[in-house]
Amino acid sequence: MHPGAERDFHDLLLMLKETRGFDFTGYKRTTLMRRISRRLETLQLNGYGEYRDHLELEPDEFARLFDSLLINVTAFFRDPAAWQVLRETAIPALLSAKGAGDPIRVWSAGCATGEEAYSLAMLLAEELGMEQFRNRVKIYATDLDDTALKAARTATYNDRQLKDLPAELLERYFEPAGAGFAFRRDLRRQLIFGRNDLTRDAPISRVDLLLARNTLMYFNAETQLSVVRRFHFALNHPGYLFLGKAEMLLNHGERFEPVDLRTRLFCKIAPTPPGGRPSRGAAPAPAEPVRRLSEIQIAALSSGPVAQIALDLSGKLAMANSRAEALFKIAPRDIGRPFQDLEVSYRPVELRSLIEQVELDMQTAEVQGISWRRGGTAETDVFDISVAALQEPGGERVGVVITFHDVTPYRRLRDDLEQANKQLEHAYEELQSLNEELETTNEELQSTNEELETTNEELQSTNEELETMNEELQCGNDELQKINDTLTSRSEELNRANRFIASVVRSLGDAVAVFDGEMRVLMWSPGAEELWGLRAEEATGRHLLTLDIGLPVEAITPALRRLSEDHRSPDAAENTGRLLVDAVNRRGRAIKLDIGVSVLHEGETSLQGLILVMNVL
């Protein structure tokens, strides 16, 4: 883009932010430019600067611009397969995690005209029943477009908007209202609609389910990151995020994990506690002996990269950290069991005697270089094991902690070093060559990985852009449909008017002809066809003087023009006149005609033409 055009575009966005409170700086530039360019083409303006001036002169244009920028494309149960997964997977899991009377809070972000929020209301009402839905559910639906929110609050939809809704749901949840149907009033109270700017306003907190379908794709990467953080904060645990088909959350794996990636259904990952692992559910209640340990001792036993086991004074297992659980296959049910009943008490080394020695001497005992081949593996691990007494600050003994230091890498390194020293003179050049090849390979892999990440991001961006354009096209199609409906209605009105006029003309006399201000035929009745032998399609559009009929047009033309001129005058008092002329009908017989002349005009003085009613005397 030309620097001047870029500056004008930035000034236009700044104007929208300062004057109307709409901040579009976080939206994708390509989408904004494409939508604003449509307004420029419609108004035949040459640049963003001219359009900014036009907005200052025509405040009504703001509404049309926002209607173009805020694409409100939605439908009831859009992407039915995705909604089916939501109903079968997330909803049952969400309800099972709740108590019998616990409230259920849902947020529909970017709700447009409300179809998505009401779809979710029907889904929850089907699962809970009407009474439970009214007592427990609150659905918060937000959008940036006040016009769309107003339509959502009325909850009234026409046949075209409801065409894909199953008949049983339409009958159960909607009531006739004028030319359309309205969502049931007793259930509508559970839905709250409000304006919310996802890029600036605080999120709705403590929600169990958050729907933001095809909303993130309009934002740039930086704004998407900010909005996703807000979504993570807003959700309870467990909490579910339901996105549109163009939104993947590829760079947010630490906040959300996919439940069904194909339908873009994600589950919140709870924040990681200090020294622990991510929590994906309620932690089991600690055993009674562990409750007596101080907070510092609990943290010491549960953290660190080495395996640790703690015993209470009775010799029962009080705690094992994650490394010990994985290494010695200790399950949560083993907490509270006598230590001597566990395999780890005698393998990889007999520990019971060491524990007794520590309890007697109150001194740390260590054994080093213990080799252990775990079941199912061919390699041998080496451990340095230390047993130490645990004491409270007052000196009272509360238990024993056993620490397993995995020194396998160091032992293997030492053995490898000895072997390498023996072969160093013979293998140095080969090792150097291998190191260089390895470094080259790592650099190539790193470069390839970066290229793949870049390509993936480009594909994601392209996918979002295509989905955005698809919604724009759908929005344009809806506008064309409305125009088509209007044209159809106008055509029907015009046909009725034409039929009425034709009926009136037939009843005025035997022969009727209507002329415009230039004396060209506008209408030629069937009576005129019968009288003069000239069909309507032959007469329409021709000048009175060029009609080949037995009417003395040269004789009556001056009188007709005088009548026209008299009725153009502001002082004209009459709208009709009469002429008696001799003529020859289509059979060649002489006839006497009584011609009634009426003025066809619009308003008081604007002449549109003349009406001639010709009766044979």
Tens of pLDDT along 2-11?
677 788 888 8
Mean predicted lDDT score pLDDT of the chain: 82
Q: Look at residue 299 in the predicted model and tell me its pLDDT.
A: 53
Residue 609 token pair: 């033409």
Q: pLDDT tens-digit profile of 163-192?
A: 889 999 999 999 998 889 999 999 999 999
Residue 374 token pair: 């775990």
Q: Which residue has the higher pLDDT, 20 or 419?
A: 419
Residue 361 token pair: 């001497």
Q: pLDDT tens-digit profile of 44-63?
A: 888 888 888 888 888 888 87
Amino acid code (one letter) for 85:
V
For residues 32 and 6, the answer to whether their CB atoms sit within 8 Å is no
d(CA 16, CA 90): 39
Q: Look at residue 370 in the predicted model and tell me its pLDDT.
A: 87
Provide the pairing of β-strand 137-143 with 576-584. unpaired
For residues 269 and 278, the answer to whether their CB atoms sit within 8 Å is yes
Q: pLDDT tens-digit profile of 380-420?
A: 888 899 998 888 766 778 888 898 888 888 888 888 888 88
SS3 label, residue 499: helix
- Residue labelled with tokens 């003085």: 605
By the 10 Å C-beta count (0-12 exposed, 13-18 middle, 19+ buried), 217 is classed as buried
- pLDDT class for 423, splitting at 50, 70, 90? confident
Sequence-separated contacts (24+) of 348-357 with Cβ below 8 Å: 348/372, 348/383, 349/385, 351/385, 351/387, 351/402, 354/385, 354/387, 355/311, 355/315, 355/387, 355/400, 355/402, 357/387
SS3 label, residue 383: strand
d(CA 176, CA 87): 27
Residues 6+ apart with CB under 8 A from 311: 317, 318, 339, 355, 399, 400, 401, 402
Q: Look at residue 277 in the predicted model and tell me its pLDDT.
A: 45
Q: Which of 17-26, 276-285, 501-510 has the highest mean pLDDT?
A: 17-26
Q: Look at residue 568 in the predicted model and tell me its pLDDT.
A: 55
Q: Look at residue 596 in the predicted model and tell me its pLDDT.
A: 85
Q: Look at residue 296 in the predicted model and tell me its pLDDT.
A: 52
Q: Look at residue 304 in the predicted model and tell me its pLDDT.
A: 65
d(CA 100, CA 28): 44
- Residue labelled with tokens 């924040």: 271
- Residue labelled with tokens 């397969």: 81
Q: Which of 186-195, 366-375, 590-599 has the highest mean pLDDT?
A: 186-195
Minimal CA–CA distance to 327: which of 265, 427, 405, 386? Answer: 405
Cα end-to-end span (Å), the chain: 80
**Residue spans of beta strands (DSSP E) within 165-281:** 174-177, 180-183, 191-195, 207-212, 235-243, 256-260, 265-268
**Dihedral sign computed on CA atoms, order 404, 405, 409, 413:** negative
- pLDDT class for 106, splitting at 50, 70, 90? very high
Q: Which residue has the higher pLDDT, 30 or 182?
A: 182
Q: Look at residue 194 in the predicted model and tell me its pLDDT.
A: 92
pLDDT over threshold 50, residue 323? yes
- pLDDT class for 104, splitting at 50, 70, 90? very high
Q: Look at residue 598 in the predicted model and tell me its pLDDT.
A: 83
Q: What is the mean pLDDT of residues 540-549?
A: 88
Q: Look at residue 300 in the predicted model and tell me its pLDDT.
A: 52
Tell me the Cα Rg of the chain. Answer: 43
Cα 332 to Cα 285, 318, 322, distances in angstroms: 11, 10, 11
For residues 464 and 247, the answer to whether their CB atoms sit within 8 Å is yes
Out of 241-245, 323-327, 424-428, 599-603, pick the least confident.
Answer: 599-603
Strand order in the sheet with 207-212: 191-195, 137-143, 104-109, 207-212, 235-243, 265-268, 256-260
Q: Look at residue 116 in the predicted model and tell me its pLDDT.
A: 93
pLDDT over threshold 80, residue 447? no
Q: What angle do CA 439, 443, 446 make, to 5 degrees?
A: 135
Cα 308 to Cα 65, 348, 371, distances in angstroms: 64, 14, 18
H-run or E-run covering 397: strand 397-406
d(CA 556, CA 594): 12
Minimal CA–CA distance to 64: which of 38, 45, 27? Answer: 38
